[in-house]
Structure formats: C-alpha cells, structure tokens
Structure 1
C-alpha cells in the first residue's frame, strides 16, 4: 500500500511540524501551533519595522557625494554659462539702448564676459579687466544717450553689473581680506565718481545699488573664504593633535615597558650579584683569580643594576603620576609581572566577558626569557581587548608557536555579528604592541583577515640582535 507525503510542510491530513497524520484534537493542536507561529512572526515584523524605519529615515548622518571629475568642473561650468549670458545680455543692451552699434557693443561685452572666466584663475587681472570694460562702456554710452532712453541703466549696465558681481565674489574667495576690501573701495569710488561727478542724462541710476551689491558679495566671499580656511586649519590642528597624542602614547608605552623590563632585569642582576658574593665562601681555599673574577662579576652586576635604577628614576620624574591618571588600569611599577603561565586565566576572564576564545600551542613548550613572556602576554591581552571592543559577537583563536628562534603569537578573530558600540580608542593599543615587539628585536603585523576578520601576528625572538627604530605607522612593525 503506497502513501504519499507532500514535503516537510505536510499535505492534507499531515501535521507540518511533526510529520504525523492529524486526527481529531491533534489536528486542532497543529492548526493552533501554526497560527501561533504566524502570529509570532507577524508580531516580530510589526515590532521591528518602526525601528528599521527610524534608523533608515530619521538620521542626520552625512552622506557626501563621491569624488567625481564632473563635480569638480561643475563650478567652472556654471561660471562659463554665466559669462555667456553676460556676453549676450550686455551686447544687446549696449547695442539696442546705448546706440553703440553691434561691433563696439560686442567687444565691450566680450571683455566683461572674459573677465568673469578669467576670475577663475587670475582674479586680480580679471577685476582690472572688468573695471576697465565697465568704464569704457559707461563713457561710450554717455555720449550717445538719446531722448526717451531713460530705461537705460547707467553707469553700469545690468549685465555688466552681474559680471562684476561674479568677479568680486571670485576675488573675495581667492585673495586676502585686505585685498578684497581694497578692490571694493576702489570700485565704489569709481562708481561714485562716474555717476556723481561726470553724470549723464536720460538714464536709470545704478550707482547706489551697485555699491550695495558689491559690498554684499565681497562680505559673502570673505566669510566663505574664512570658513574654508578655518576648516583647513582645524584639519591641520586635528592632524597635529593626533600625531602628538600618538607620540605621547608611544613614549608612555615605552616608559611602562621600560619599568616592566627593569623589574625583570633587576631581579636577575640582583641574584647574580648575591651569588657572585656568596660563591667564594662555598669553596675551600678559593684561588685569588677566582675571587677576582667573582668580584668583577659582582661589581658589573651592581653597576648595571644602579644604571637601570637611574634610568627608571628619570622615567618616573618625567611621568610621576601616569598610573594614577590612567585610573589604576595598569600594574604597579614593581608588581610581579604576568607570564604565559597566566594565559589560561586571561582567556577565562575574556570568555566570562562574552567572547568565545580558543587556544592552541604548537611546538615544544619551554620557559622563555621573562621579557619575551611578558610581551607575549601583553600582546594577547591587548588583541583580545580589541576584539571585545570592536568585534562584538566574534570568535577569537590564539595560537602560540614555539620554535628554536623564539615565539610566534597569533590572535585571529572573525567578523562581528552585530554593530560595535562607539569606542573612545584611537589605535594606541597597536602602538604598544608594535613597540613591545620592536624592543625585543621582533616584528608585529596587524590588519584585516579573511573578509571582516582581523589578525595580529607577532614574532618575538629569544635573542634580539639589536634595538631598532620605531616602525612606520602602516600596520607593520
């Protein structure tokens, strides 16, 4: 006997979520379950849409236009279009109402339109050309004013006035404020002289209106130029502040690392000094050469320890309250420093904070110099902290690889599963990690990995060949 089941969703007579035939009360239960699921999905959709609409539509987020050659040349096109309008309008006005004739009217209009275009590159020569063209036009029209021509605007034609407004605006946007107001003052004096001292007949005066409009565009252009310069200066100051903050952070991190390394080195130097002092008493009748060598070892150890403490005193005098200003986030200068033996506790604390972390150790694990273990611990600590801050919901994998030359530390995380909250960090943790690796003669790289993930890869040699300069800030140390 054959029986057909219509998919997991169930056909007639089958319960969709159990795959069993519905009969009686079970059928009603299946129907109610399906209704509940539909209602839950619908309710979640209704609750989610207002938040989605608010995030999408109710925002002041800046969305600048992408850089484009077309957008770059758009202002030039607008100015050239205005110059073409000035050419046609001024030529028609000088010819029809000024009685200059088509040839002279076209030449004067061409000079004024050319001044508008020239102002894009040479604003001061363009201003002189515009003033000269306006004066020539005013003087030429004055001698040819005819009775009944009182509709002619004089001394400046309407199109000539618009052209000079463009020239003054472009001038104010390009030159110093003093130069802009000097040009405005001279233009105003020429306007008053032509209209008030020379004068004319049968015209509509444009001198007073022209002076007011000239002043408005000069003030507007000066204000826009000042705003542009202020924004540029703010950008420069922001860059300088960021560079100074990075430099200060780097110096503070170096100081903190120096304190930590001092604790490690000072302990061993003290042990060497004590052992060298005690060693002659452990040998019966030690030879003088042995005593002298041990005394030299002890003396060198004491001198090295004294020099280290002197350097530490200098560092503390430059930053007397660095740890207090950090709110107690760091360790005390002489507190026992963590090693890789405490890496498990660090991982457990990170897991307790909500981050999924796995660890892997390859190679034969062995004790390393305290400075190497301390730096490795701090690098892992900072890398996991960065994952917590910048990649919520991600998973991290820590790999320690022991090789004959030293230790390789890798911290890899996947991409975040939700949006990271705003962070006040400025990338200074990476500076500290790089500096730790460089001070040991190693290297550190940090950057994107496998899509939206991130990877920190450091190699810390056991024996550093020599100290090196700080690395460039390009993600590689």
Structure 2
C-alpha cells in the first residue's frame, strides 16, 4: 500500500494559491472535528472531556496528516476509531440517554470519511481497496464479534459512506491522471510536429544548396582538369594554377557534403552524422526564393554547361510539351541535373544521352551514359543523390530507377505524373524503351 504521492496530486493544484486554500479548508475541517467532536463524545458516551478531546484530536491529526501521508493517516484514524469504540463500549450499558451511534460516532465517522477521500485521491485504487477491506474487517470484528449493549449500529452505514468517499476520490484521481496524460501527449505531439517541420526545412535547405552549388562546382573541377589538355605546351605555372583550382573545388565539394550531411541528419551533433556525409544530399522541393525556378525550358542551358565540362551529351525529345505543374518541371530539371552531375564525377569523358518523352499522363526521362573514356579517380559516395531523386519523384507520385548497364555504363529513368499526383486508374508508367548506349 506504500506510495509517495506527488505534491501536485489531486486535490492539490499546480497553482500555489489554490494549494494554500485547500490546506486551509482541511485545517478548518480538522479543527471543527476536534472541538465539536470532543463535546459530543463527552455528552453522549460518558467520556471525560480530556479523553474525548484526545480521541477527536487524533482524528483531526489524521485528517491533516492525510494531506501528505495518506496511508499512515488512514492507519492512525482507524486505530483511534477502534480505541474510541472499545472505550465507549464500557459506558454504553450505564447510559440513560437514548442508544448512541456505535461503533462509529458521528465525528469519528466524518473524520474517517475525510481521510478515505484524501487516501483515494492520492494512492492507487488497489491500495484504496485494501484499506477499505481492512476497515470493513475491523468494523465487523468490533460490532459483530465483540458487540455492545444499548447502541444504534452504524457499521453498515459507515462502510457505505466510506465506499462513496473512496469512489469519489478514485474518480477524481482518474480524471486528473487522464487530463495530465492528455496534456503530456499534446505536448509530445507538438514537439514532434515542430521537430518534423524543422527536419523537413533542414532537408529542403540541404537539397537546394545541392541543386544550386554542387553541379557548378563539379563542372569547375572537371574543366580545371581538362583545361591543360586544350592548350599546346601549357606552362608549369598554368598547370599548377589549374591544379589548385581543381583541388579547391574538390575541397569545397567535400566540405559542402559534410554540411549537407549534417543538415539531413536527424542528430546533427553526432560525429557519425558528419563523418558519413561524404555524398551530396538529395535534390530539394523548391528553388531558392531569390533565384528563378529551373524548368524544362532551361534544360538546354544545363546540357550546354555539361558539354563545356567535357561530356558528349545528346538530347532526344518525343511528343509535344504540354502544360506541367511547376513542381513537375522543377523535379524533372533537378533529376536530369543530378544524373549529369553523377556522370561528371563517376564517368568523365563518357558519352551521354538524354531522352525526354511527353506522354498523355506525364513525362518520362532517361539519362544514360557509356563507360568512362579514362580511368576514374576513387570516389566514395553514400547514395544520397539517388535517394533524393527518388524522394522528389515519390512526392509527386512518380518513380525513379537507377542501375548499371551491361556495357559498363549507367542508366537513370524517371516518370513524373502530369499534375504532380499519382493517377490510380493508370497502370505503371510506360515510356519508350531505354535507348541504345552510344
């Protein structure tokens, strides 16, 4: 039955003034029981005033003690009530007054009800039930087993009142616990919502940084690597400067990957989140607010930029371009951009083919490349770029597939629904067959 109640358990509010008011009311109740109860016990049961006051004083003390220690208070109240009943039993036969209430006189009954109410408010229902069982057993032994003469039995009425007090207290306790749990769940939900919003915003920022910076840094690195081969008898100073440009671009890309890895991580303070971020994050969900939003009309400029970096890029387009939502056009651009960036990093000198098919229900994209024309420097990636392409397509109800080809190259295909949402009535997207590798 032992349990340590919280200082803010019912009926004690979290507001200080309400707690003080509760303490004051309980103290006044205890004082009334001590004074008025002593007078009644002295007049009705033949007690001396000192004995009567001691009995009611113990009951009043139990009521006050129940505020902090309800279980010891209940034990004190029951023990004092039992002692009072046994002392009163000796005087019942000699009383000339009408038969008094026994074994629960009115002031003792009121005090024990108050203790029971506070007990039920502060401890588990199982503990309250155990206390009620002990009280009922004690009442049965005193009234039914020991008995007395010339009294009005109050045992059944007292037990009924104690049960009512226990039920009221347990109900109030359950309501308070339910309210507290609801507040906690609401707080947790709000915190989780804020956390999800923060993670989504961080992920969006990371993807936009990737879209804006990473592609151009890759182009700078490749151009710096190719430039010495375009000049006849380049000087050592020129080679050294171009090598410095390439190294700085690669270092900038490495640091950018680390920063973007931290932004994508759910725990940015963990060292693993930084060390494992050796690959660019996924493309984002929207452009930077101060920059024009890329769309399909800007794909030709992207391809020219890639050709300037040393790749042989061919574009083929089928069907008439229809009105796509801005999100679809942005995602199509970013998917092609990421695929070309991967070719620049992993297959320098490869031949690339970009196929675009405008279908009735959406747009089909294909970016394929041959094997690289020269050895590829070691480059470890974590696959976040491909993951980002899949995330971007999935948000629009589309899909992305990426796989190596049997000729040693790589193929990326994507389908995006026209309106940026899946069409349940349509089967899986069907575009043109993957093009023959150059």
Q: Scaled by the length of structure 2, what TM-score is found? A: 0.53
Q: Establish whether residue 257 from structure 1 lines up as the match of residue 205 from structure 2.
A: yes
Q: Establish whether residue 333 from structure 1 lines up as the match of residue 289 from structure 2.
A: no
- Per-residue deviation at 1:68? 7.0
In structure 1, the residue matched to 2:38 is 91
In structure 1, the residue matched to 2:81 is 134
In structure 2, the residue matched to 1:107 is 54
Runs of 5+ consecutive residues of structure 1 not aligned to the other structure = 1-65, 319-331, 343-477
Cα distance in structure 2, aligned partners of 1:244 and 1:340? 32
Cα distance in structure 1, aligned partners of 2:119 and 2:68? 10
Q: Using a 3 Å threshold, how does the CA distance of structure 1 residues 249 and 215 change in structure 2: closer, same or farther?
A: same
Task: Kindly indicate whether structure 1 or structure 2 has the higher relative contact order, using CA contacts under 8 Å at least 6 residues apart.
Answer: 2
- Per-residue deviation at 1:303? 7.9
In structure 1, the residue matched to 2:23 is 76
Say which is worse superposed, 93-102 or 237-246, in terms of deviation.
237-246
- Per-residue deviation at 1:285? 2.1
1:400-415 → structure 2 map (5 Å cutoff):
none
CA contact under 8 A between 2:204 and 2:285: conserved in structure 1? no
Structure 2 SS opposite 1:80: helix
CA contact under 8 A between 2:204 and 2:286: conserved in structure 1? no
In structure 2, the residue matched to 1:152 is 100
- Per-residue deviation at 1:230? 2.2
Q: Deviations over 1:66-93 (max 9, x none)?
A: 9975433111121122112212332122
In structure 1, the residue matched to 2:396 is none
Q: Deviations over 1:255-291 (max 9, x none)?
A: 1000111112124313413532453356442125533
CA contact under 8 A between 1:156 and 1:206: conserved in structure 2? yes
Cα distance in structure 2, aligned partners of 1:304 and 1:67? 55
Cα distance in structure 1, aligned partners of 2:286 and 2:78? 79
1:36-435 → structure 2 map (5 Å cutoff):
70-145=17-92, 146=94, 148-277=96-225, 279-280=227-228, 283-288=231-236, 290-291=238-239, 293-295=241-243, 297-298=245-246, 301=249, 333=284, 336-339=287-290
- Per-residue deviation at 1:130? 0.9
- Per-residue deviation at 1:317? 12
Structure 2 SS opposite 1:144: helix
Cα distance in structure 2, aligned partners of 1:221 and 1:291? 87
Q: Using a 3 Å threshold, how does the CA distance of structure 1 residues 102 and 311 change in structure 2: closer, same or farther?
A: closer
CA contact under 8 A between 2:206 and 2:264: conserved in structure 1? no
CA contact under 8 A between 2:34 and 2:57: conserved in structure 1? yes
CA contact under 8 A between 1:148 and 1:202: conserved in structure 2? no
- Per-residue deviation at 1:112? 1.2
Cα distance in structure 2, aligned partners of 1:67 and 1:292? 72
Runs of 5+ consecutive residues of structure 2 not aligned to the other structure = 1-12, 267-282, 294-438
- Per-residue deviation at 1:98? 0.6
- Per-residue deviation at 1:316? 8.8
Cα distance in structure 1, aligned partners of 2:285 and 2:188? 34
In structure 1, the residue matched to 2:415 is none
CA contact under 8 A between 1:170 and 1:221: conserved in structure 2? yes
Cα distance in structure 2, aligned partners of 1:120 and 1:295? 80
Cα distance in structure 2, aligned partners of 1:246 and 1:208? 57
Q: Using a 3 Å threshold, how does the CA distance of structure 1 residues 115 and 264 change in structure 2: closer, same or farther?
A: same
Cα distance in structure 1, aligned partners of 2:19 and 2:246? 73
RMSD of Structure 2 on Structure 1 (CA): 3.4
Give aligned pairs, total.
265
CA contact under 8 A between 2:113 and 2:165: conserved in structure 1? yes
1:429-468 → structure 2 map (5 Å cutoff):
none
- Per-residue deviation at 1:186? 0.5
CA contact under 8 A between 1:280 and 1:291: conserved in structure 2? yes
Q: Scaled by the length of structure 1, what TM-score is found? A: 0.49
